[in-house]
C-alpha cells in the first residue's frame, strides 16, 4: 500500500509540474518555461535565431534578461528574411548598431501585456490601442478574429502568430513581420 501511495504521489507531482509549464505554447519547436527569462527561452527557439543574433549585436541581452516586465513582439526568422535583400546583414554591422537598437526596441513595451489585456485596451479605445515602445516608437494594437494585429510607424502590419508565451520577466508574442520605426 505504501509503494502504491508513493507512486501515486510521484505521479501527481509529475503531472502538476508538467501542467505548470503546459500552458505555454512551444515556440520554434522548443518548450518555453515561465521560470526562464526572455533571452533564456529565445535561445531555444529555432524560429528566432536571427532575432537572437540581432539582440546580441545590439547589446540588448542584459536588458532583456533584466527584471522587466517586458512585452516583446518577437519576429521570426521568416519575418527578417522578408525584409529587402541585405537588410539584416547591413543592420548587424557594428557601424549600424544605433539603427539596429532603434528597430529592436520598437518591438518591446515596458509592461506585461497578455493578448486578453490588448483586447481589453483596444476595445476600450474604440478598436485600436496606441502604445509607446521602449525605443520611443508608436504601435497601434488591434484585435481581428481573436488575433492581435500590430501596425507600426512605417504603416506595416504584423500578426501575432503565437500569443501569451509567459516569461519570468514578461511575455513574448511571436509575430510574422519586423516592426519598423518611421525613418
Q: What is the CATH number of the domain that holds 55?
A: 2.30.180.10
Q: What residues make up the domain containing 102?
A: 25-175
Positive or negative CA dihedral for 63, 67, 71, 73?
A: positive
Query: What confidence score (pLDDT) does residue 17 get?
Result: 38
Examine residue 14 and state whether it is found in any structural domain, yes or no.
no
DSSP designation for 27: B
Residue 174 host element (H or E): strand 170-175
Examine residue 3 and state whether it is found in any structural domain, yes or no.
no
Residue numbers of the chain with a pLDDT score lower than 50: 1-22
Examine residue 106 and state whether it is found in any structural domain, yes or no.
yes
Count of the separate structural domains present in the chain: 1
Query: What confidence score (pLDDT) does residue 20 get?
Result: 42
What is the C-alpha separation between 169 and 34, in angstroms, rounded?
Answer: 9
Examine residue 67 and state whether it is found in any structural domain, yes or no.
yes
Amino acid at each position: 500500500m505504501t509503494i502504491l501511495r508513493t507512486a501515486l504521489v510521484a505521479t501527481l507531482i509529475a503531472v502538476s509540474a508538467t501542467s505548470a509549464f503546459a500552458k505555454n505554447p512551444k515556440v520554434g519547436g522548443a518548450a518555453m518555461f515561465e521560470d526562464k527569462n526572455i533571452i533564456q527561452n529565445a535561445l531555444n527557439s529555432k524560429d528566432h535565431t536571427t532575432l537572437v543574433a540581432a539582440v546580441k549585436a545590439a547589446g540588448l541581452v542584459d536588458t532583456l534578461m533584466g527584471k522587466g516586465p517586458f512585452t516583446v513582439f518577437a519576429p521570426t526568422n521568416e519575418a527578417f528574411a522578408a525584409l529587402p535583400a541585405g537588410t539584416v546583414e547591413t543592420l548587424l554591422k557594428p557601424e549600424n548598431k544605433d539603427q539596429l537598437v532603434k528597430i529592436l526596441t520598437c518591438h518591446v513595451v515596458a509592461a506585461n501585456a497578455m493578448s486578453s489585456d490588448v483586447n481589453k485596451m483596444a476595445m476600450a479605445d474604440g478598436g485600436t490601442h496606441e502604445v509607446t515602445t521602449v525605443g520611443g516608437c508608436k504601435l497601434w494594437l488591434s484585435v481581428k478574429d481573436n488575433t492581435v494585429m500590430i501596425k507600426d510607424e512605417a504603416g506595416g502590419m504584423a500578426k501575432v502568430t503565437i500569443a501569451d508565451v509567459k516569461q519570468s520577466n514578461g511575455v513574448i508574442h511571436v509575430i510574422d513581420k519586423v516592426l519598423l520605426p518611421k525613418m
